[in-house]
Structure 1
Amino acid sequence: MFKYRGTAVGIDLGTANLLMYIKGKGITVREPSIITIDVNKKEIVATGQKAKDMIGRTHSGLQTIRPIRDGVIADYESTTLMIQHYLKQAVSKGIFATKPTLVISVPSNITSVEKRAVIDAAIQGGARDAHIVEESFAAAIGASLPVWEPTGSMIVDIGGGTTEVAVISLGGIVISTSCKVAGDEMDRLIIQHIRKEYQLLIGEPTAEKIKINLFNEELSNRKSIRGRDLVTGLPRTIEITDEEIWNVLIEPIEIINQTIRHTLENTPPELAADIMERGLILTGGVAQLRGLDTVISNATNLPVIVSDDPLDCVVKGTAKVLENVKILK
């Protein structure tokens, strides 16, 4: 196997998180895909977790931006600045001797124009060259599925902006489906529910914390939530139950189940038989949601396995792609 021997970087350019793998160093960046910019100077003030902590707390001179929305670049300039920032960090640490070649994961349903935008943003950000790999294929490689063998492997990658479902065999995607229902949509529905039922306004960070609490295996049945009362305008605290939040998430989970079923319905019979026997693999941040594997298994009548490192599967897949120049081509 011929291996790429230059300076190489794999990037999972996710809606919620950006992960960067540097050849020979491992995963060096694991940060939220958020930046805060000085509006007047057009300079980055904060990135990653520091920028996330500023959401809802900035003044008019600062703007906190999520450059990636629903798996694609929503703000080209901010995406370029974000990639450039992390590459410069690596350069300052003496990791790169020359400009690196990047392998970047993207959703399977983005257009050629959107793919070009990702490549251009990477090159403007400081890369020598950039290659695209589909997110579901990278996740399957990162989850150690037998993607090169004549057998069907099914991957369901539930990230922040999109859910990617794909059937892979003999080194290629046989069929793939994508829907824009994932972690962000779950957060939005939680915000809507709290607003409608309790007349309480909460922000995206609070909604995300409520959802993440369901990842924990040992949960109290009730939890306190703080927000702004829509009637009085004053701060107020309420209590909600885990069951109540689960009921809110039933709708987006059902859409994900429909996407999986649609993919199965269009899968060749022999590959479908392989999947029935071996099951499907869940990856992505939302795969950690407590009980999600059971819900999907009951809806699809398939064995469902959560990957050992669901958050890292895509970036690990880009790392393995970096090891084989034939995949890049």
Structure 2
Amino acid sequence: MWSRDIGIDLGTANVLIYLKGKGVVINEPSVVAIDTTTRKVRAVGEEARRMVGRTPGNIVAMRPLKDGVIADFEITEAMLKHFLEKAGAKSRFGKPRILICAPTGITNVEQKAIREAAQKSGAGEVLMEHEPKAAAIGAGLDIFQPSGNMVIDIGGGTTDIAVLSMGDVVTASSIKVAGDKFDQAIMAYIKKKYNLLIGERTAEELKKTIGTVFPGARHESMDIRGRDLVTGLPISVTIRSEEVQEALEESVSAIVAASKSVLEKTPPELAADIIDKGIIITGGGAYLHGLDTLLTEELKVPVMAAEDPMSCVVKGTGIMLENLDKVSKKRGFFSRV
């Protein structure tokens, strides 16, 4: 049985787990390798990620979450159970309270699926909170004052944009354009331009190593290998930073448009606070080269990446858990489901 308070950032790309009193104890890819003939789990997390694109026909490495929500309930449950056991959350004294973060645009049905997966994995009470709120707290913003704070949380499946004040979300937007869509855009661009088929891992490596989203901000190149769609043979081509920027242009434009929309709906007094404080980017997308510069130029507001942006959401859950008895009574802080 489990008894400790646990915070979970159940991401499309990564699962991070915070154990009360210990900090972040798990940070692994949301990937599960299963045997399709028996439906048995063969590997979870980093071990399963290494298998992506390199398994025999009967073993499939898959992500059980898509666009920030559960796509395969059974596999999500198995993944959560594995990570909770690995985190050392077992105890003789009872089941834990688990705080899970979810995108702002999540439906009641999707919320129920997350709750049930957590309960079947061993949770007692399940609390849920919006990702951008946890991200803002984890990034060190004081969202409990009557003052505007804005955060853009770019994960693997969704980008959540929110303005927060007095401990709650004032205006928000959630779009299904984030890290995964960036990788898919790079894959599609290279397929169209070079007739070359590459995998997600190669696309991600391109994005991280030479990618940029601000025109002229980076001038690097990288050799990649893939399968020629004409001959069917493996070939190598050289990709430049400018090409990655061109590939990501449409996806990044969607994030800019959503951010502008949230700002336009923000009350004037809070908008004035945001102009003074700036906007914080969290999530893995914050590492995208040139994104802060591009958003600053487009939104006319200073934009900066948080310190350790990948961990902001789970650190936020940790801060909430450490102060659970004190803050759970505040209206709107937690959604008990």
- TM-score, length of structure 1 as denominator length: 0.94
Counterparts of 2:273 and 2:163 in 1: how far apart (Å)? 10
Tell me what 1:162 maps to.
Answer: 158
Residues 51-75 of structure 1: per-residue CA shift (max 9 Å, x gap): 1111111222212110110111111
Aligned mate of 2:141, from 135, 145, 151: 145
- Say if 1:214 and 1:289, in contact at 8 Å, map to a contact too: no
Q: Which moved more, 1:53-62 or 1:299-308?
A: 53-62
Partner of 2:311: 312
| Structure 2: runs of 5+ lacking an equivalent | none
The residue correspondences of 1:171-250 to structure 2 (distance < 5 A) are 171-214=167-210, 221-250=220-249
Q: Give 1:40 shift.
A: 3.0
User: Residues 95, 20 of structure 1: CA spacing in aligned structure 2 closer, same or farther, 3 A cutoff?
Assistant: farther
Deviations 1:61-118 (A, max 9, x none): 2121101101111111111010011112234x86675322110010000101110100
Cα distance in structure 1, aligned partners of 2:210 and 2:16:
23
C-alpha change, 1:140 and 1:231, in structure 2 (3 Å) is same
Distance 1:164 1:76 in 2: 23
Distance 1:96 1:175, change over 3 A: farther
2:211–2:241 CA contact under 8 A, matched in 1: no
Structure 2 CA distance for aligned equivalents of residues 112 and 64 of structure 1? 28
How many equivalent residue pairs? 322
1:5-43 deviations in whole A, cap 9, x for unaligned? x61110000011000011111111110100001223322
Displaced runs of 4 or more, over 6 A: none
Does the 8 A contact of 1:11 with 1:318 survive in 2? yes
Give the C-alpha shift of residue 215 in structure 1.
6.8
2:87 pairs, out of 86, 90, 93, with: 90
Instruction: Name the amino acid aligned to 1:211.
Output: K
Using the alignment, how far apart are the partners of 1:125 and 1:23 within structure 2?
Answer: 18
* SS of match in other structure, 1:167: strand
* CA distance in 1 between partners of 2:19 and 2:274 (Å): 33
How far apart are the structure 1 equivalents of 2:243 and 2:113?
41
Question: What amino acid does structure 2 have at the position aligned with 1:320?
Answer: I
Distance 1:39 1:101 in 2: 33
> Which amino acid is the alignment partner of residue 283 of structure 1?
T
Is 2:55 aligned against 1:58?
Answer: yes
Query: Could you tell me the TM-score, scaled by structure 2's length?
Result: 0.92
User: Partners in 2 of 1:220 and 1:321 — Cα distance?
Assistant: 42
Q: Is the 8 A contact 2:146 2:166 kept in 1?
A: yes
Identity level (%): 46
